Structure 1
């Protein structure tokens, strides 16, 4: 009986030791909260979730990312740089054009009209990423990869046939940024910023005659119900979504956890870069829009594209000048790389 009790005691001690070890390992694991303002139905959300899974796997469970989609943490996009800087949230999905109040220069990194061929975007990505790394570092935020947005076709979606800048004169055009308002204004074309959620109604009620929009995903906002014609203008200069971590939160991590975070972020960056440009995707989307009743007109002429790009670069430069020294540095660096 004594021998049996001794074995039982030894087994119990061993089990307690295992539980204590497991508990200690669990206690050592760190969970980082990740803010994303995008809804969980957006394709970017899948890449963020995969990033979180990769971090868990690569760190051996020592580092976990808890993703909060659709602004579930109650944070405002305009405040994210300050929020991260103060360490009030660990990580966030960053988009440079959102921070015009605190970091207007970041909106000068990239602009519509920057590229006329989708492949140019892939060539310029390292330079764009470097500019964002520099800009976010000023806010004590380190970047760890991100999501390279797909390069979609941008076109004019109109109620009447329009496929030239001359046709657009006299029309009211919906756009999504002040830079675009100024670009079309320089061309003698009336444009106004209308949020995506209000675009359908604006077209339906005649507030605008045309929408400057991402043709590839026009179906998702039912543009085929309020417009009949479409003409391609240029590829979308899509600013990438960046994974940013507060330096305060980064300081809590050991070498293994940091490596897992950086490797996972870079892996997502490379994966999304590989699928960013897809002529097959664009052709399929075009066929689908035609099947919905949209008449695809010939694209804008090369001369019109050159005219649009010249105007877009001019207003881009003005935007950079207004943003100060950093804005001009970003503009000059990116445009020089594009010109090479």
Structure 2
């Protein structure tokens, strides 16, 4: 059954490639296939759909983008760089942390603990974008805009009152990346990567005592049912979701179509950049969590935050060095930009 499914996926990809070739030859009206691994219920998905609508409008119908949400094309995120490079699909929603096998340096562009104030994100966003543009270009992929994710609060969500690093020493913490495991390890705190879909059960059964999580959206995964306390630590260093198009697909577009694609992508990028930092949104979200029964503890102290950031930057540097010269250069470029803006 698995072999049959694999054959169907391969056939589907081949068919898409053949159709794309025919469409490029016709050159009048082109439809680009766009892979997204995000569920259609995610807010980013609405931005992708808006992008597709803008492309059609700006090209006066010459160019359309057909979006396949939730991985409907059967493609794996880890393979996306190779898939785009070979032109098996035209476009994809790209996220730098996904490609540690083929392009480990991309995961070193941005890391948790990078920013301590939400406003810092917008100040270095152009630097981050430039590095991603360069990194994906190595795979014959051009970035044409993208979605700048909202900068959410990150906090510790625990079963017992915890709002200091000392109180975390005897707790087991859920995190979402290897970098964070290494960061907490440097602090003498036990942490493990647990997928979001398994986090609720891990807290419920005592596999972990706390979850390091995006507090703003914690109710969407019902954390209030398995944790009672929350303490703010730092703002989320959110890597942007990027609209990537293969050079093969791009070469088949005329000037009008290319301009429409780039203008639409940039419009989404600018609109989402403007709304990324929103203190009022964060304050309202905190009130909503309190209404659900969460007890808001005092935030981690400035001293604890400095200690966490020092560990995070150390783990980030090690991760970058292990990925090679390119990753180290990315780390140095971003951290220098952050230091210049402090």
TM-score category by the smaller chain? over 0.9
For the Cα contact (< 8 Å) 2:27–2:252, is it kept in 1?
no
- Residue 324 of structure 1 is matched in structure 2 by 324
SS in 1 for 2:252: coil
Q: How does 1:206-225 map to 2 (within 5 A)?
A: 206-225=206-225
SS in 1 for 2:211: strand
Q: How does 1:1-340 map to 2 (within 5 A)?
A: 28-340=28-340
Deviations along 1:265-316, one digit per CA (max 9) or x if unpaired, are 0000000001101111101110000000000000000000000000000000
Normalising to structure 2: TM-score of the pair? 0.92
SS in 2 for 1:230: strand
Distance (whole Å) between structure 2 residues aligned to residue 76 and residue 237 of structure 1:
25
For the Cα contact (< 8 Å) 2:85–2:247, is it kept in 1?
yes
Distance (whole Å) between structure 1 residues aligned to residue 191 and residue 208 of structure 2:
8
SS in 2 for 1:167: helix
SS in 1 for 2:329: helix
SS in 2 for 1:257: helix
Distance (whole Å) between structure 1 residues aligned to residue 336 and residue 120 of structure 2:
13
Distance (whole Å) between structure 2 residues aligned to residue 39 and residue 294 of structure 1:
27
Shift in Å at residue 28 of structure 1?
1.4
Deviations along 1:154-205, one digit per CA (max 9) or x if unpaired, are 0000000000000000100000000000000000000000000000000000
Structure 1 segments unaligned to the other structure (5+ residues): 1-25
For the Cα contact (< 8 Å) 2:27–2:254, is it kept in 1?
no
Normalising to structure 1: TM-score of the pair? 0.92
Distance (whole Å) between structure 1 residues aligned to residue 28 and residue 187 of structure 2:
60
Structure 2 segments unaligned to the other structure (5+ residues): 1-25
Shift in Å at residue 114 of structure 1?
0.1
Shift in Å at residue 27 of structure 1?
7.2
